[in-house]
Amino acid sequence: MPPNKPPPDDKLEHELRRGVIVLAALSQLGTWQYGYSLRQSLASRGMEIEEGTLYPLLRRLETQGLLLSEWRIEDGPPRRYYKLSPDGRALYARLVGNWNGLVDIVAELIADDGTGTKRRKDSK
């Protein structure tokens, strides 16, 4: 493999994670949070997001009308706080339903693995 080129599995794992970042972020924005607190909340649950990914995402979601934002000064520098707008709440509920359906479908696909026979979850 050429130097400085990540292995293909790293890229695939990155793509998989990238597909759920929006849902993960929305899941934590039922109440007001600023970027760093959101990053910490996600990281504490195993979903680490780089600043260079999170902040553009927050701005994009706000521009799309899915987030509300306001500047606050509380014990430190001004911070922009975000939370779900009514449209964001509706989208989040729809995405959760879609996610749950996809999880069920993929679990069935993995259990079958194309052989037509069901594998037990604990079998390798």
DSSP 65-91: TSEEEEEE-SSSS-EEEEEE-HHHHHH
Q: What is the pLDDT of residues 76-124, one digit of tens each?
A: 899 999 999 999 999 999 999 999 999 999 999 989 877 777 766 555 5
All domains in the chain, ordered by first residue: 8-112 (1.10.10.10)
Average pLDDT over every residue of 30-35:
96
What pLDDT digit, counting tens, does each position of 5-32 carry? 667 678 888 888 888 999 999 999 999 9
Distances 102 to 24, 36, 95, 97 between C-alpha atoms, Å: 15, 30, 10, 9
What average pLDDT does the segment 56-68 reach? 98
Q: What is the pLDDT, as a whole number, of residue 10?
A: 80
Which pLDDT belongs to residue 122?
59
